[in-house]
Amino acid sequence: MPLLLIASERFSDHLTPPGHVERVERAHVFDAVATAWRKQGGAIVEPRPATRDELLAIHSAEHIAAMEATRGRAVMLDPDTFTSPESEELARLGAGAVCLGVEHALAERAPAFALVRPPGHHAERDRPMGFCLYNNVAIGAALALARGVSRVAVVDFDVHHGNGTQWSFYDDPRVLFISTHQYPFWPGTGAVADAGRGDGEGFTVNVPMAAGCGDADYALVFDEIILPVLKQFAPEMLLVSAGFDAHERDPLASMKVTTGGFRRMLDDLWSVASSTCQGRLVAVTEGGYDLQALGQGLEQTVKVLSGPARPAAHYLDASGGALDAPETTSGTVRGRAAVNAVKAVQGRYWSTL
């Protein structure tokens, strides 16, 4: 199942003020990963812009008009979120990159990885926020539904809760949204009791985790919550909001995940997609603000998705050497507390918990 990388040097044209963590150097890391993949003979395509109908599946016409009004200008949308003259166009390209990935996954039964900025998972129907203008992963999930996919799972392991993605599908049982995130933390959403509404009740699985959680905690959460729920839901397509800001080097958060820990999560998700989704997995970049950790996370994503599914015990670093495998037999007190809290809420919906 050949991996398709969707990338463009144009994403470096999204400019933020000096000192902003979502800076142009992140795009340079994307470009380096894409160049290395191209040198290996890997497939890379330029993104296309999302269509208006694709945007309207998630965002209101008023929100799109407000974003279009920033074209050609540098605008502060909120204290964290800024545009430069080309940002709206690039945000459309980011959303379109995920749509292109969905189309590839459906046609080829193969994975895709969209390297885009600005990120997207905080953008709500009527509101840009958290560096995000359009919700890339939610737009991709909506396109999958429109193309006839019955069950879509979105797993978000960014350190910040994907509030925009959650609200996009909060009452929709066709989309399972699972989020691991530091809590309490910005943006303040993602409480364990937030489990969906109406027909969608039980199809939002929030896994709030205390500051200081590391590889063993995340392994425990995957083993006891995420993988059992995914198994029971049996998605036909899996989308991954791949933020690498839970890394121990990241300046914004207080988690202790290593590159090997991310590799373990990615192995698990690729195993699910290979066995349940016929290889139809689409990953998209979200956060990750230490450049070294970001580069390692992207490299591991490419390695995992370009190879066969394998048990999570196998780890490689960016150069192919061995990484220290994270503890998988038990988590810390923090990890166990997260698991117990989720089971107390979600056990009524998922017999596998």
Q: What is the pLDDT along the chain (353 residues), one digit of tens a residue?
A: 699 999 999 999 999 999 999 999 999 999 999 999 999 999 999 999 999 999 999 999 999 999 999 999 999 999 999 999 999 999 999 999 999 999 999 999 999 999 999 999 999 999 999 999 999 999 999 999 999 999 999 999 999 999 999 999 999 999 999 999 999 999 999 999 999 999 999 999 999 999 999 999 999 999 999 999 999 999 999 999 999 999 999 999 999 999 999 999 999 999 999 999 999 999 999 999 999 999 999 999 999 999 998 764 444 343 333 344 444 445 689 999 999 999 999 999 999 99
Sorted by where each begins, the domain ranges of the chain are: 4-346
SS (H, E, C) 188-253: CCCCCCCCCCHHHCCCEEEEEECCCCEHHHHHHHHHHHHHHHHHHHCCCEEEEEECCCCECCCCCC
Q: Which two tokens stand for residue 182?
A: 């530091």
The two counts, helices (H) then strands (E), for the chain are 11, 10
β pairing state of 75-76 and 82-83: antiparallel
Q: Which amino acid type is present at position 188?
A: G
Q: Which amino acid type is present at position 305?
A: L
Q: Is 63 an active-site residue?
A: no
Degrees to nearest 5, angle at CA 271 with 268 and 277: 125
Cβ neighbours for 135, distance < 8 A, ≥ 6 positions apart: 58, 59, 95, 120, 121, 122, 123, 124, 164, 165, 168
| Active-site entry in 63, 122, 160, 247 | 122
Cβ neighbours for 94, distance < 8 A, ≥ 6 positions apart: 11, 47, 114, 116, 117, 118, 119, 120, 134, 136, 284
Task: Identify whether 18 is preceded by a cis peptide bond (ω within 30 of 0).
Answer: no
d(CA 11, CA 55): 19
d(CA 225, CA 187): 23
Q: Which amino acid type is present at position 232?
A: Q
d(CA 180, CA 174): 20
Dihedrals φ, ψ of 280, to 5°?
Answer: -85, 85
Task: Identify whether 187 is preceded by a cis peptide bond (ω within 30 of 0).
Answer: yes
pLDDT reported for residue 318: 38
CA 57 to chain CA mean position, Å: 19
- Residue pair 15/53 in contact by the 8 Å Cβ criterion: no
d(CA 190, CA 131): 18
298 half-sphere exposure, CB direction, 13 A CA radius: 31
d(CA 11, CA 117): 6
pLDDT reported for residue 330: 57
Dihedrals φ, ψ of 240, to 5°?
Answer: -125, 120
Cβ neighbours for 327, distance < 8 A, ≥ 6 positions apart: 215, 216, 219
Task: Tell which CATH classification among 2.60.40.1530, 1.25.40.10, 3.40.800.20, 3.10.450.50 matches the domain 4-346.
Answer: 3.40.800.20
